[in-house]
Structure 1
């Protein structure tokens, strides 16, 4: 049982300015010692730590945690995709088996960011070291993401948080059309994560998420979906057990084989845990 997406940080008000006043509940440190009992209580054996800030220090911080704590099975770090010495940096990181891939906070960039030639050139270099790439975007950036995954067929991608559909306003059609196209690319998986923070934080129900889960299950299928909690960000809208239960209740009719894939086997294969 693997949680394919969560974060650790030592809270820094300047660096972590994305944590707004309404997210005050997560304005503190979150470390493996905080997560370990939560995972144990929920029957989860390990997790993948994903970057939250954009610096080489962040990657090294997460690497240190992965080397110190057994529950941290892999790291998705950050690297400057536009750096002249990117290949050398990737080669250096490749000596650490804990580092599985990289991510950039593309959701904070212009909508065309992922289709820029220089960005694609950088991401394509990940393939030489079998590094994965996590795609963090909003629905308006799905067009660029589709261009990227087509342009880099040798890179293994995963879309974080279902590309953050507008669950709160129940918009689904345009998002679902783009997701259907992206799912046609065999090198792309999708994380079933981050949904509660796209809903009404204080007034959501499980049924709000099922239409969106229908879309990704229909198009990606049970072999390319990975459960992730997005802890501790999820705590602004739900506790860990609530997040896990949404996905558990959805996959329950699919049977134990599918549950095992979504809750661990797919993440283990994708990130080579």
Structure 2
């Protein structure tokens, strides 16, 4: 089964989606599964993991509702208030929807560098572990230290690093990011999506070579069984086509065996998110 492990769907609202600025006008509209269905077929994908883009319980319900209509959604990574004292009640509620496999918080938008290691957040992560949910890490460099602390004290939690931690591809800076990736990959409960790369490069002038050192380092550190593909559609449209998101990665996989390629393009996502 070929799975795109990172897609978003939304009904555009300029207030709710204020993160979409004027320069991002190409994605300031509705995006629903009908808009990507044929493209997925053309590229031989069987389904997708729908990931939250808004921080509300309504967002999670919205993705669940979509999954009931569009069977291409094989898993949902929603949002839940991990810092709520009622976290167990919230998770018990979401357990009624088995399509929900995990949750994410947009930590990259948090100014606090220690956000991931605050007591109230760690309580939420512990609840995810208890209820057997995954957690997607969306971070910026200021969160590197607290990410490592969070992961180190939660050895039983399944973590997925989104967008290879958004390295500064546009400027080709490497060392700080590379050191973090090396340290994070030491924790075997952490997996990594090779996703969302074009939008970290120069949107108009990137080449395939701009991504080589970053993808090679991630594969070297995490190994071939803990990396997987995600397009970050429709956000990827800011810097290229859906097919571009595939091209950026596929020419870097020449030493993968047939089984390892099947893992990267789908089986690793199936295993991590318990997709049936």
TM range, normalised to the smaller chain? over 0.9
Aligned-pair CA distance for 1:148: 0.6
SS in 2 for 1:49: strand
* Counterpart for residue 95 of structure 1: 96
Structure 2 gap segments, 5+ residues each: none
Structure 1 gap segments, 5+ residues each: none
* Counterpart for residue 76 of structure 2: 75
- Partners of 1:37 and 1:81 lie apart in 2 by 36
Retained in 1: the 8 A contact 2:216–2:252? no
Aligned-pair CA distance for 1:255: 3.0
Aligned-pair CA distance for 1:98: 0.3
Retained in 2: the 8 A contact 1:9–1:29? yes
- Partners of 2:183 and 2:8 lie apart in 1 by 29
**Is residue 153 of structure 1 aligned with residue 135 of structure 2?**
no
SS in 1 for 2:178: helix
- Partners of 1:185 and 1:271 lie apart in 2 by 18
* Counterpart for residue 205 of structure 1: 207
Superposed CA deviations along residues 101-122 of structure 1, whole A, max 9, x for unmatched, are 0000000012211111211111
SS in 1 for 2:269: helix
Aligned-pair CA distance for 1:74: 0.4
SS in 1 for 2:199: helix
Structure 1 runs (4+) greater than 3 angstroms displaced:
none
Retained in 2: the 8 A contact 1:251–1:258? no
- Partners of 2:244 and 2:255 lie apart in 1 by 18
* Counterpart for residue 117 of structure 1: 119
TM-score by length of 1: 0.98
Aligned-pair CA distance for 1:252: 2.8
**Is residue 46 of structure 1 aligned with residue 86 of structure 2?**
no
Which sits farther off after the overlay, 7-16 or 135-144? 135-144
Within the candidate set 239, 243, 246, 2:245 is matched to: 243
Within the candidate set 150, 166, 169, 2:168 is matched to: 166
Aligned-pair CA distance for 1:214: 1.0
RMSD: 0.8
Aligned-pair CA distance for 1:247: 1.2
**Is residue 23 of structure 1 aligned with residue 27 of structure 2?**
no
Retained in 2: the 8 A contact 1:9–1:30? yes
TM-score by length of 2: 0.97
Aligned-pair CA distance for 1:62: 0.2
Retained in 2: the 8 A contact 1:133–1:158? yes
Retained in 2: the 8 A contact 1:6–1:47? yes
Aligned residues: 273
Superposed CA deviations along residues 198-249 of structure 1, whole A, max 9, x for unmatched, are 0000000011001001111010001000100000000000100111122111
* Counterpart for residue 6 of structure 2: 5
